Structure 1
């Protein structure tokens, strides 16, 4: 009897040793976890991270099962998935490759662990960085990229793939297939209308999500019905409030109406009921919208704030800062009337956010940050975007969902992102304040787990290097 009892004790002791010796990379204790889908707060949990993945979220009593190389107390802090910026750009030419690469640090420093690169002219480098981040050889956000975007002949944008026939569209998409791009971007500067629609349809047929600007010759509903996955820039949606949108777009197509006239009518004759009906079509077709408020506000109000005293400006390389001049100089030429229209346009467009939300349209949090887009800062810009979303009618939770939930969902990555739970990627943001009560709290960062590696506030600050 004694022998049996002793054997049982030994077995239990050995078993307990085995459990205690389950080695992991990181344990976050005392975590107050925010569920971004529901807004529910779960207190005093332990988050176990190993090899870049959350392998368990458990009670403090279960912590004894693990031997962590690093343990972080999150007592009094708020824990949630890290942020996604769903519209950024890397570019400006080969001479600015290093300055663009340096932007990777800015995203991480500001708690952003994934970005959607919506086309640029240095795609080979971006693709290299995408692989290096995925392989754990470069600290930076996970990159989802379109590669070079599709445009018409003689595009004003550098690096575009210029197409004028469907045969050229197919060859362009073949080249993007080889690059293994994550989605397809299309803009409307010189592309023929039929090639624009054909590009959307063919890209979707091949299984790609599509992202685009909206040509004035089409209604918002037409591009959605063609299969467009996301409208970039909320100002285009003002057209959805025109009762005679189709007639006016046809007039632009036949030259009896200018694109500027259409934009002014959309601003001055906007009808909410008409827009709501259009937005419900977007929702039905799962066409998302990326508002990019931060860039629109920055450039629309350059007459009020020239941003020369922005603290964050010093973290942008001189070559990239130089690319800001284009928009600044263009805005400086505007008349008093044009400036007033700039102000009214972004304020009216931004006011559509609650209507989009009520209509069931997925809103994506993206900034347009990068080269060319003046004073729209990589990293900081997303926090400003979230603040602007809330200022214009979304709740803090809805703004966070636009980044953390809708971002992965758009790219079909929800299985691995969007919550602090078992089986998800270990991209975790620790905040000193509750962002559900104050959206600006997203900037009050205590620490960040980026792809499984914990970076405290001091380390994150060290990534902000003046140029």
Structure 2
């Protein structure tokens, strides 16, 4: 989604397009929300006649967004020789960054880092926070590069290739051809841009199907056509990835010598053999039991095998599946998306064209306001809410998520109607209400630890649709008395009513991050990430002024984690969700649960048994048993004793495929977390029967086929 792209600009943007000294020009881009069909931001680019480029960039959605003022100059090779940016990031952190290059000496400094490097030849600086004009510069510089590659500073290499070309028409009837390019080498997925053509291409626009676009003013009518072509190009790339990284398990497969994690008892059993056919478990027998005509064997070699992990707070997109799969996350509850795009992704996953976890969708319901999040349905009255609920119910959504601007006057009737359609109801707490009032209206679950604790911090006129919903808990939780009667009564109510809590502690660690320090949830895997990604982990999110405020925010966050432990021990159901980098931060969330006081085995239980319970998929998932989906995660080490071992995923079986995280890591530039992985051994006699010949002939055919795939 554009929301996520703009929230992590340092991970998705690269550098420079040559506009040498010329007459002053101004180019204006509008950022339009697809769902609401309204402007939510803009980028204004001034190219001055002295060679200086100035950029004003602003984007606001869901009560937050960056505001940046940039300026830069380009050298003869089209890369920046001077660059500076000031402003604030999505959540309000101060942005102040400079870069310069004189000859072969490059220097840079920001609020989180500073460095210098000797370079020769073209090299493009990658800002930590920037507008999309920086991508425009890269488009031109890459077009000049003979091999389509550009060295990056501080490190890395950016590549670009043209995927498609389309003729578009402006509001005044003007026509031009634009190209779709994919840039790789920055972040964990390609970045797609539409560019002008010719010998000096520049940015024409950005389209993110399902969320919105940023196009030159006057060309907004081209967005649907560009989205159609971009989706087709992306789909082909994703289909190729799925074919390469998902290895089908045809026929009967036996996973031998598996130490199964019992998610009901939170214990590990004796070695067993797990039989899998057509994506389901057919039997679980003691290890070494006679095997009759199995087509494939995977030797788990006494590894612990977990049921597929659940992330109960995702916002899935077409590129997040590889990250989830590599982390053993085989089920994700989507907590807010574009309805049309999510339905398309579900279809693509079912057809095997998209490498993705199994998605349990939650229908997103928001109210109209200047702070509205533009996902799902944005409604203004009870009829609109009921119509939206009907749409979701007819498509099998088991849950409804209500958001910040939902009209509080119709909350109780809306929740009752969702319940009448068989749906659970959860969400943020609508502005003007406390959490207790949402529970009184019928909520079954609350998202985010800040939304829980705001119950004790807000008044009826407190605005919680802007950054207040983060600043208030950061400022005030430090002084809360968890032994006070109101707090104890609230926890007891949650336990009595079995209200589930989705705390997303890992994502809220940003409340106390200091510029220059790696944010706590990222520390365990930062060294495995590509350099540009790891670099972004040191950038603060909140505006924190001075050591005293930092210590206060640190204390508040520590107490938030403590409160999750208090709720769990009182019998309040806890679920594990990320709302952050897919896969890797689910592991971090389990680590935070252990920090809150759960044992590692209990944390794993939350991510397996509880995941199934609160998505109503217990009949299919959450444990390893005959009849259930064969979602199996083979792990090195023992995560029931050391929760960090959950990162050591050696293989994943799901939807009739075996997937190797090592292969995904290699494709994404991630340093692997494990060494050798258990491979599939084919039963040569069974294969020979399928191919209709001798064993030798069948194996020769397999070898030939494998060479073709490679």
TM range, smaller chain: 0.7 to 0.9
Contact 2:500 2:574 in 1 (8 A): yes
- Correspondences of 1:84-103 after superposition (within 5 Å): 84-90=310-316, 100-103=317-320
Question: Does 2:641 correspond to 1:452?
Answer: no
Q: What's the RMSD between the two structures over aligned residues?
A: 3.1
Q: 1:437 to 1:280 in 2, by over 3 A?
A: same
Number of the residue aligned with 1:39: 266
Find the counterpart in structure 2 of residue 164 from structure 1.
380
- Note if contact 1:363-1:406 (Cα within 8 Å) is conserved in structure 2: yes
- 1:370-400 CA distance string (max 9 Å, x none): xxxxxxx211110111111112211112211
**Aligned pairs (5 A) from 1:220-299:** 220-239=435-454, 242=456, 249-250=459-460, 252=462, 267-274=478-485, 275-299=487-511
Contact kept in structure 1, 2:398 and 2:422, CA below 8 Å: no
Q: Distance in 2 between matches of 1:152 and 1:436?
A: 46
State the match for 2:222 in structure 1.
none
Where structure 1 has 5 or more consecutive residues not aligned to the other structure, the ranges are 1-22, 91-99, 370-376
Deviation of 1:146 (Å): 2.1
TM-aligned CA distance change 1:200 to 1:316, over 3 Å: farther
Residue pair 1:315, 1:464 contacting (<8 A) in 2 also: no
8 Å CA contact 1:112–1:141 kept in 2: the answer is yes
Distance 1:186 1:354 in 2: 25
Q: Per-residue deviation at 1:283?
A: 2.3
CA distance in 2, matches of 1:334, 1:151: 34
Structure with higher RCO (Cα < 8 A, 6+ apart): 1
Superposed CA offset, 1:29-62 (max 9, x none): 1111111221232222110000000000012453
Give the match for residue 372 of structure 1: none
1:118 to 311, 320, 335: 335
1:422 aligned residue: 626
Taking the aligned partners of 1:443 and 1:106, their CA distance within structure 2 comes to 12
Deviations 1:84-108 (A, max 9, x none): 1110114xxxxxxxxx312111110
Structure 2 SS opposite 1:401: helix
Q: Are 1:79 and 2:290 counterparts?
A: no
**Structure 2: distance between partners of 1:27 and 1:166:** 53
Output the CA distance in 2 between the equivalents of 1:336 and 1:415: 51
Change (3 A) 1:161 1:457: closer
The aligned counterpart of 1:199 is 414
2:630 and 2:613 mapped to 1: Cα distance?
17
> Structure 2 stretches of 5 or more lacking a match?
1-249, 671-710
CA distance in 2, matches of 1:109, 1:74: 17
In structure 1, distance between residues paired with 2:394 and 2:528: 37
1:447 Cα deviation from its structure 2 partner: 1.3
Q: Is the 8 A contact 2:365 2:401 kept in 1?
A: yes
Residues of 2 paired with 1:204 and 1:251: CA distance? 29
1:139 corresponds, among 339, 355, 362, to 355
Q: Deviations over 1:278-320 (max 9, x none)?
A: 1221122221001101111135314352569945664999xxx
Deviation at 1:164, TM superposition (A): 2.6
Residues 263/205 of structure 1: CA separation in 2 closer, same or farther (3 Å cut)? farther
**Secondary structure in 1 matching 2:313:** strand
Q: Are 2:599 and 1:386 aligned?
A: no
Offset at 1:456? 3.6
Are residues 153 and 106 of structure 1, via their aligned partners in 2, closer, same or farther at CA, if it must alter by over 3 Å? same
Structure holding more helix per residue: 1
Matching residue of 2:281: 54
Aligned counterpart, 2:570: 359
Aligned pair in 2 of structure 1 residues 40, 215: CA closer, same or farther (>3 Å)?
same
Most deviating of 176-185 and 333-342: 333-342
Q: Judge conservation of contact 2:309–2:329 (CA < 8 Å) in 1.
A: yes
Q: Measured at CA, do residues 299 and 463 of structure 1 come closer, stay the same or move farther in structure 2, by a change above 3 Å?
A: farther
Q: Is 1:464 matched up with 2:668?
A: yes
Give the corresponding residue for 1:183. 399
| Alpha-carbon contact 2:399-2:425 (below 8 Å) kept | yes
- Alignment CA distance shift 1:60-1:266 (3 Å): closer
SS in 1 for 2:336: coil
- In 1, Cα distance between equivalents of 2:584 and 2:479: 33
TM-score (norm 2): 0.53
1:25 positional shift: 2.6
Distance in structure 1 (CA, Å) of the matches to 2:532 and 2:515: 22
Partner SS for 1:236: helix
- Which of 595, 607, 620 lines up with 1:403 in the alignment? 607
Contact 1:106 1:463 in 2 (8 A): no
Number of aligned residues: 410
Matches within 5 A, 1:144-155: 144-155=360-371
Q: Which protein is richer in strand relative to its size?
A: 2
Structure 2 counterpart of 1:210, from 425, 435, 452: 425
C-alpha distance in structure 2 between counterparts of 1:368 and 1:288, whole Å: 17
Q: Is the CA contact 1:354–1:394 (under 8 Å) kept in the aligned structure 2?
A: yes
Cα deviation, 1:438-457, whole Å, max 9, x if unaligned, reads 00111111211122322245
Residue aligning to 1:6:
none
Task: Indicate conservation of the 8 Å contact 1:153/1:162, yes or no.
Answer: no
Partner of 1:440: 644
Deviation of 1:252 after TM superposition, in Å, equals 4.5
2:290 is equivalent to residue 63 of structure 1: yes
- For the Cα contact (< 8 Å) 1:74–1:430, is it kept in 2? yes
Tell me the CA shift for residue 139 of structure 1.
2.2
The 1:250–1:332 alpha-carbon spacing in structure 2 relative to 1, beyond 3 Å, is: closer
Report if aligned partners of 2:649, 2:661 keep a CA contact under 8 Å in 1: yes
Distance in 2 between residues matched to 1:361 and 1:385, nearest whole Å: 17
